Amino acid sequence: MRPAPQQAAGVQSLMRMLRILFFLFFTLIVAVFVYYFIFSGIFRVDEQNEAMLLRFGVLQTRAGENGNSPILQSGKWYWSYPYPVDEVITVPANKSVSVSTENTFKAWVAPTGAQVGGANRQLRNGVDGYLVSGDKHIFHAEWVISYRVTDAAKYYLNFYDDNDTPEDIPLLNNDAKMMLLRRPKRLRGHELIIRNLLANAVLAETANWNTEDLIKANRTVEGPNGELLTERIEEGVRKRLNAMADQLELGIQIQTITLVGMYQPPTAALQAFNQVNASERNKQTAIQNAEAYANTLLSQANAARERIIGEANAYNEAIVSTLQAQAQYFRAIQAEYRANPRTTLTVLYNNAVQELLANVPNKYILHHSTDGNRQQLRLQISQIPEERRESSGPASIGGTEPASAQAGVGGNGPAGAPAGPAGP
């Protein structure tokens, strides 16, 4: 039997609707696939990162500013096929990465942060970490390295591993489990290699230092030209670690290597080492005080020396100037004497008498008369002081003349003879 016309029309309408729905669903699927295929592959590399493109696990190269390079440059947009055809690996580029030795060279610390054992407990071999100095003393220390990635290809393909799942912990023995629990997270790949290399460099460098230098973290060494140089332990560790990193081609640049705090002896010997450190500090303080005192004395001596030298130079110049002036004066007098000897001698004599009398407060003039009798005339040329005037007053009242106002006559007469008229 054939279906009725109404039934045939209904079936046809249903078929058309199903075809339309199928077409719409197919179009939606194709659009989603095209959108996913085209737009999901667009990505941008951040400024702080570098990226690499792997196609079926093979590193791809792209054209860049420096030619073809496997490194996708920061700050640019790229396109890739969806996973699993292409895979984009992002690696930190300009960001510094820090790795610490943590408790590798310290006494074991429980996960709760409390140190196992008392303050004077002994070290346990295989459990506690430590370093050995060149003079065979034990120390604890922590080091931190900061680096940045310079070659993302070497960093990722050779060493990097982003799988942090500790799947093999149950296969480890008890000691290995204990060592693993000492870390806040399990490092793998590149960071683990960096930490192990840092530990090796620290072990090797510490073994070449003695106890006194390790406590100070520096020592005095002889330079290539015989000069004395100060070497820090960080410099030695950096040199060793740079050599290892260059040999392994890690693709990183070491920025800083830092000793956290200082080298610490075991807790059982901490008190004795503190006493040694206190003695060393007192020694350094005494040396610094002595050097400061020596510098002060040296400065004072230099100042006194300069003053004495200055005074001597000034005195020397004054003496030389005086002698030169006297020599010039003598030559002038000599020339005048050769021209007029009598006149020159008279002038020199008068000048000498004038200079001599200028220094004498009382002057006495002796005059001889023509008849051979000596006449003495005493004159007070200088001013009479007030005290002498007062003392001479009573004597004048008594009728006695002052000696300075008397004039004596006679060659052999007594000194108290009456005074005659003074001669010219």
pLDDT band at 419 (very low <50, low <70, confident <90, very high): very low
pLDDT at 171 over 70: no
Give the per-residue pLDDT at 405: 38
pLDDT at 240 over 90: yes
Residue 362: CB partners within 8 Å, gap ≥ 6? Answer: 380, 381, 382, 404
Residue 42 burial class via C-beta count within 10 angstroms: exposed 0-12, middle 13-18, buried 19 and up? exposed
pLDDT band at 287 (very low <50, low <70, confident <90, very high): very high
| Nearest Cα residue to 192 out of 102, 267, 84 | 102
Q: Among 100-104, 357-361, 375-379, which is the least confidently predicted range? A: 375-379
pLDDT at 391 over 60: no
Bridge partners of 63?
68
- Are 198 and 205 a contacting pair, CB within 8 Å? no
Mean predicted confidence (pLDDT) in 377-385: 56
pLDDT band at 288 (very low <50, low <70, confident <90, very high): very high
User: How far is 387 from 371, CA to CA, in rounded Å?
Assistant: 40
Give the per-residue pLDDT at 212: 83
Give the per-residue pLDDT at 164: 43
H or E, element range at 246: helix 233-248
Cis geometry, peptide bond prior to residue 84 (ω within 30 degrees of 0):
yes
Give the per-residue pLDDT at 371: 66
CB atoms within 10 A of CB 214: 24
Mean predicted confidence (pLDDT) in 61-87: 71
| Nearest Cα residue to 47 out of 78, 70, 89, 75 | 75
Structure tokens of 136?
């065979």
- Locate tokens 């560790």: which residue? 237
Mean predicted confidence (pLDDT) in 226-236: 89
Give the per-residue pLDDT at 353: 82
Q: Among 121-125, 209-213, 267-271, which is the least confidently predicted range? A: 121-125
User: How far is 373 from 144, CA to CA, in rounded Å?
Assistant: 121
Percent of the chain residues topping a pLDDT of 90: 19
Mean predicted confidence (pLDDT) in 335-363: 84
Give the per-residue pLDDT at 5: 66
Please give the C-alpha separations between residue 158 and each of 151, 161, 230, 248, 295, in angstroms, as whole numbers.
11, 9, 38, 10, 59
Mean predicted confidence (pLDDT) in 66-75: 67
pLDDT at 244 over 80: yes
Give the per-residue pLDDT at 375: 60
pLDDT band at 167 (very low <50, low <70, confident <90, very high): very low
For 42, phi then psi, to 5°, come to -85, 130
Give the per-residue pLDDT at 312: 95
For 85, phi then psi, to 5°, come to -65, -55
User: How far is 51 from 61, CA to CA, in rounded Å?
Assistant: 11
Give the per-residue pLDDT at 144: 94
pLDDT at 234 over 60: yes
Residue 407 burial class via C-beta count within 10 angstroms: exposed 0-12, middle 13-18, buried 19 and up? middle
Give the per-residue pLDDT at 189: 64
Give the per-residue pLDDT at 320: 94
User: How far is 86 from 60, CA to CA, in rounded Å?
Assistant: 10
Give the per-residue pLDDT at 79: 74
H or E, element range at 180: helix 174-181
Please give the C-alpha separations between residue 115 and each of 69, 118, 157, 180, in angstroms, as whole numbers.
51, 8, 39, 16
- Give me the residue spans of the domains in the chain: 5-89, 97-265, 277-342, 360-390+402-409
Structure tokens of 376?
């003495």
Over the chain, what is the mean pLDDT?
75
Bridge partners of 256?
146
pLDDT digits (tens, 9 = 90+) for 19-51: 888 889 889 998 887 777 777 777 777 777 777
- Locate tokens 């004072």: which residue? 300
Mean predicted confidence (pLDDT) in 83-106: 79
- Are 185 and 164 a contacting pair, CB within 8 Å? yes
pLDDT band at 87 (very low <50, low <70, confident <90, very high): confident
Of residues 136 and 406, more confidence is placed in 136
- Are 76 and 45 a contacting pair, CB within 8 Å? yes
| Nearest Cα residue to 92 out of 42, 41, 164, 147 | 147
The third-level CATH classification (topology) of the domain covering 97-265 is: Tetrahydropterin Synthase; Chain A (3.30.479)
pLDDT band at 292 (very low <50, low <70, confident <90, very high): very high
